[in-house]
Structure 1
Amino acid sequence: MKLFALLILKTFPQGIEKDPMICSSAIDVTSFGFFQRGSAKEFIIFLSRTVAKRVASGTKTQIIQDGNVVYAHMSFDGLVAIAISDIEYSGRVAFSLLSEMLSNFQSTFRGKYSVVDGKPDNFLPWPYLQDTLVKYQKPEEVDKILKIKKDIEDTKVVMYNAIDQIIERGNKIDELVAKSEDLGMASKTFYSQAKKTNSGCCVIM
């Protein structure tokens, strides 16, 4: 099992059609082939932004896509914590981690993320995320601690079986890929080729 990425994004207020900004992120693509790593990272960013823009405030969401899972938890102040893993990773651990990420980020950077327009991605460097990404590669060890604490929130999780199910009606993932500024031409070409062979959106993951 593998945990690929942890990200914190800030959404814009309702009515403003802008993609969420990435406040902090930690991404590990070393498990991919050397020539796939660039595209893998771009797709992680693309998926994170796509999902963060569409989750509802105060909810937890799980999206299964081509053997991988995007976990998202949105706070009431517009922050979205994202974890991307393979399908074998523990959902229990992932959602507990997202709750911890949001709480720690809010206490660490309160007042520094309220306005994000015009700022670059990763404008709030946070070593905690990289350390946590390494620590949580073994969810079975972390889960032992969680079971002892027994304080996991019993929040209903909204589940989707494909990324298309969370996208607005009338749109498809293909269209978002074509328009995305997060994906380079090589990644878009790779995606198109994968679709032709029915390999799925994130075959590189």
Structure 2
Amino acid sequence: MVKIFALNVLYKGPNSAVWLKTAYDLTSFNFFQRSSIQEFMAFVSKTIVERTQTAARQSVKEGEYMCHVYVREDNLAGVLISDHDYPHRVSHTLITKVLDDFAARIPPSSWSTGSEESIVFPQLNAYLAKYQNPREADAMTKIQEELDETKIILHNTIEAVLQRGEKLDDLVAKSEGLSMQSKAFYKTARKTNSCCSMV
């Protein structure tokens, strides 16, 4: 069964990415692991947005997950994390639709200074729920021509996205956005190559 786990909206600032809105569906994971998995998905989303060029799309394959990212010319960015079975084209079309809707409802002046608490965009959870079935997006995909003009870069691992000399283990160790529990969970998952192999 195809699955979307995360749908996030960020703003790519000059020094780091700013969180604007997030939606997660982690019901398929063990209850006690969900908070750690969500922290890692957030960490990976932010890291990939910061390392994606403006006006570019990427799809990063890592373990059993796909992380799709699009940073628009105005630096509004979307990230969709799914399993491998969710169609890439539908993922990128959905990100484009979410960002267009977000930009129409939330003024650009609040993107660089916004916070997840201050921005009201309940539509993100609705998109996450509605498009769990990629067939729902068929009509949307047919009318979306922008993707035909945009090359999507596919990477086999997140390490391919990182800057030269950067290591994911080092970024995780230095991250202030991850709890000690999540860092320990990451190390265990790395060793067993289990549910969080994407991070």
Q: Give the TM-score taking structure 1 as reference length.
A: 0.89
Give the Cα–Cα distance (whole angstroms) in 2 for the partners of residues 190 and 181 of structure 1: 15
Shift of residue 120, structure 1, vs aligned partner = 3.8
One-letter code aligned to 1:189:
A
- Aligned with residue 123 of structure 1, among 118, 122, 135: 118
- Aligned with residue 36 of structure 1, among 33, 37, 43: 33
Q: Structure 1: which 5+ runs fail to align?
A: none
Shift of residue 146, structure 1, vs aligned partner = 3.4
The worse-fitting range, judged by mean Cα deviation, of 179-188 and 70-79 is: 179-188
One-letter code aligned to 2:66:
V
Give the Cα–Cα distance (whole angstroms) in 1 for the partners of residues 142 and 37 of structure 2: 36
Secondary structure, counterpart of 1:153 in structure 2: helix
Give the Cα–Cα distance (whole angstroms) in 2 for the partners of residues 173 and 125 of structure 1: 32
One-letter code aligned to 2:127:
T
Shift of residue 140, structure 1, vs aligned partner = 2.1
Q: Percent identity?
A: 35
Shift of residue 40, structure 1, vs aligned partner = 1.0
One-letter code aligned to 2:38:
K
Whether 1:53 and 2:46 are equivalent positions in the alignment is no
Give the Cα–Cα distance (whole angstroms) in 2 for the partners of residues 57 and 165 of structure 1: 18
Change (3 A) 1:122 1:82: farther
Q: Give the TM-score taking structure 2 as reference length.
A: 0.91
For 1:10, the equivalent position in structure 2 comes to: 11
Q: Is contact 2:5–2:82 with CA below 8 Å preserved after alignment?
A: yes
Whether 1:181 and 2:182 are equivalent positions in the alignment is no
Give the Cα–Cα distance (whole angstroms) in 1 for the partners of residues 17 and 144 of structure 2: 33
Whether 1:139 and 2:155 are equivalent positions in the alignment is no
Give the Cα–Cα distance (whole angstroms) in 1 for the partners of residues 18 and 63 of structure 2: 25
Shift of residue 153, structure 1, vs aligned partner = 2.4
Shift of residue 147, structure 1, vs aligned partner = 5.3
The worse-fitting range, judged by mean Cα deviation, of 187-196 and 74-83 is: 187-196
One-letter code aligned to 2:22:
S
Give the Cα–Cα distance (whole angstroms) in 1 for the partners of residues 141 and 49 of structure 2: 28
Give the Cα–Cα distance (whole angstroms) in 1 for the partners of residues 161 and 194 of structure 2: 17
Secondary structure, counterpart of 1:167 in structure 2: coil
Give the Cα–Cα distance (whole angstroms) in 1 for the partners of residues 145 and 163 of structure 2: 34
One-letter code aligned to 2:169:
D
Q: Is contact 2:64–2:198 with CA below 8 Å preserved after alignment?
A: no
- Aligned with residue 25 of structure 1, among 19, 22, 27: 22
Q: Is contact 2:20–2:111 with CA below 8 Å preserved after alignment?
A: no
Q: Is contact 2:58–2:70 with CA below 8 Å preserved after alignment?
A: yes
Change (3 A) 1:147 1:26: closer
Query: What is the aligned residue count?
Result: 197
One-letter code aligned to 2:132:
Q
Give the Cα–Cα distance (whole angstroms) in 2 for the partners of residues 83 and 69 of structure 1: 8
Q: Structure 2: which 5+ runs fail to align?
A: none
For 1:191, the equivalent position in structure 2 comes to: 186
For 1:151, the equivalent position in structure 2 comes to: 145
Shift of residue 122, structure 1, vs aligned partner = 4.5
- Aligned with residue 72 of structure 1, among 58, 69, 73: 69
Higher helix share: 2
